[in-house]
Amino acid sequence: MKKNKIIIFMIAISSASATFAGNPLLETYKTPHQTIPFELIKTEHYEPAFMEAMKQHALEIDAIANNSQAPTFENTIVALDHSGSLLTKVSSPFFNLLSAETNDALQDIAEKVSPVMTEHNNSIRLNEKLFTRIKTVFEQKNKLKLTTEQQMLLKDTYEGFANNGANLSDADKVIYRKLSKDLNLLELQYGQNVLKETNKYSLLITDKALLAGLPEDMLEMLAGNSKKADKTGWLLNLKATCYVPLLKYADNRDLRRELYMASTTKCTLGGDYDNRENVIKIANIRLKIANLLGYKSYADYVLVRRMAETKEKVFDLLDKLLVAYKPAAEKELADVQEFADKNGAYFKLQTWDWSYYSEKLKDEKYAVNDEMLKPYFELENVKKGVFGLATRLYGLKFTKNTKIPVYNPEVDAYDVTDENGKFLSVLYTDFHPRDGKRAGAWMSEFKGQYMDGKTDSRPQITIVMNFTRPTDTKPALLTFDELTTFLHEFGHSLHGMLTKCTYQSLSGTNVYRDFVELPSQIMENWGSEKEFLDGFAVHYQTGEKIPAELIQKIKSSENFNIAYFCLRQLSFGYLDMGWHGIEKPFEGDVFAYEKDAMASTQILPKTENTAMSTTFSHIFSGGYAAGYYSYKWAEVLDADAYSVFVKNGIFDKKTADSFRKNILMKGGTEHPMVLYKKFRSQEPTIDALLRRNGITL
């Protein structure tokens, strides 16, 4: 085994030495913690680096597959897990920047490289010699004295090959290669279309009276947009920092409708960025892949490796929540309609009216709104509060390290250490929207955690968001939703930073998709806790601590329209399962199919010729295909898990240690239900969620 590793290493050195020179992506990083030297990397470095890294990976795979020694766990399964490190080193910064700092040149490279990468991965998964060795080891699993983590790695490796075509006939492997390559390009095109269509839209307002109702800091932001575009007035766009507050605050109903229609018709109006055909092609290709692998639908194929396991269990959860929440949601709609009528609406509420009138009703009932709260949520203070929460729970310390290169001046990098000062991780934070950044918020990694012999190679984690920017007169002041989004993504980062596993493919967030949201969603619970807010929420001008009565108003209003928002999430889950539960090729109309899939959850009138499917990046280009239900699945888990903190104290060290040791540190080394029961001592039920939301006592 050692001899083979040396051979692989020597081949790599001899064939790559000339190519390595001058390409920072292929050289050893001389930076703190060997972080990515972004300032040295140029766009033209990526394509040759990808090609060289794939070449080296292919040599490593060839050495494993053609090893003359009998296949063992170490020389086959572990060797495979260790292979491809150079390719990961190249692909990690590229694909992260493709989401957070993209441009036309990077997108062109992605279109060239992605099909080659797909073919490269297929050549590995469909390598008969390699799979024969994997299968031989797998069939000996009961005779091998493997640890629990080793057993999981063996299982994941075998299933990863078997579920990606390794058992197919030669003829079907050819079909699989083409389908997977076509799918990869379609998913890439879909995501690029969404970003380009979002960036394309702008609306210049020159009459300030049309913007009545908008907060002053938003007006200042819109004026700043206009100034950057060398225009005079207020420039609106479809980024969340404009779109969401405009629908919430703009008195002008026509303007609300204009923005709503612009957003919900994105990628549906013909032209280069129309995604309707892409939606159909993606759904049908996924179905073909699933059928080829022996499954009736793509959802059946995906759910084999999920906690839910089957479509029936997914629908069972969605249907139970629909029955529990829909009556409450209909009552919420009636209350908002009544309020609107009393305030001169005289029309049946439409979707673009909901945020506006519900926000005003919330303000009337609880005397709390974003404009009252934002002065207490200045971004720098919020960072201290969120980082401080990790300190109280897990003893972590965050120290900004300006020597770590970053990919944009707005990005900060931190050294993260434990209670004993031991280095745990690098954390990058990227908070504000840019034209090169896709919408939403996410956590990712530039480097995963793994054991290199006896050395614990620690991770490099990034969290990316699209929060309100500072203006000329005010710092970045967050809404309460932005605060909880920060907590959510930070929860993912804790999962990535605190992990301690042997194998990189099992570490951190490499867990079942319907389990990965537990560490993130549980963090949101602290957002309305007085003990948490008292630690950082002070007025950015006066330094006054957030008043206790304001915190109580946040707490009291937590469940305001909670059922409506549950139905909204359920509608996305049903739509996802609709597209990925099909058992024959789809040939219908995207608008009509979507309307039918979401019908049971709709309590507001459906606007014709609008669509979610054409911009639903989570499921069509973001890895959540047949998995969007996982947000609700994990919400059941997080409510149940947080009830332990509530019982023992929200900063209880013993409870936090148990959550850290049984959930955050373990990655995917055991089945998630086993890990959850080690923390909770029982399986979860929906009871805690219903109680938290006030649906049942």
Active site residues: 489
Ranges of H-type helices in 502-611: 513-516, 518-524, 530-533, 548-556, 562-580, 590-598
φ/ψ (deg, to 5) at 203: -135, 115
Task: List Cα–Cα distances, 587 to 26, 130, 277, 446, in angstroms.
Answer: 46, 39, 10, 40
Q: Give the integer Cα–Cα distance in Å for 254 and 693.
A: 34
Beta strands in 354-489, from DSSP E residues, in sequence order: 397-400, 412-417, 423-430, 442-447, 450-452, 455-457, 460-464
Q: Cα separations (Å) of 380 from 412, 466, 521?
A: 12, 15, 22
Under 8 Å CB-to-CB from 231, ≥6 apart: which residues?
Answer: 204
Taking each helix axis as running N to C, give the angle between helix 148-162 and helix 128-139, from 0 to 180 degrees, rounded to the nearest 10.
Answer: 140
Q: Give me the helices (H) in 68-215, please.
A: 79-82, 85-100, 104-125, 128-139, 148-162, 170-200
Q: Between the CA of residue 571 and those of 18, 66, 322, 523, 574, what are the distances in Å?
A: 54, 50, 9, 24, 5
The first and second tokens of residue 134, run together, are 């994997």
Q: In this structure, what token pair is assigned to residue 346? A: 């005289």
CA distance 494 to 665: 9
3-state class percentages of the chain: helix first, strand second, coil last, to nearest 5: 60, 5, 35
Q: How far apart are CA 283 and CA 301, in angstroms?
A: 13
Task: Give the CA count within 13 Å in the CB-facing half-sphere of 600.
Answer: 18
Tell me the CA distances in angstroms from 325 to 159, 430, 686, 689, one per residue in order. Answer: 37, 35, 12, 11
Q: Quick count: other Cβ atoms within 10 Å of Cβ 501?
A: 23
Backbone angles phi, psi at 446, to 5 degrees: -90, -20
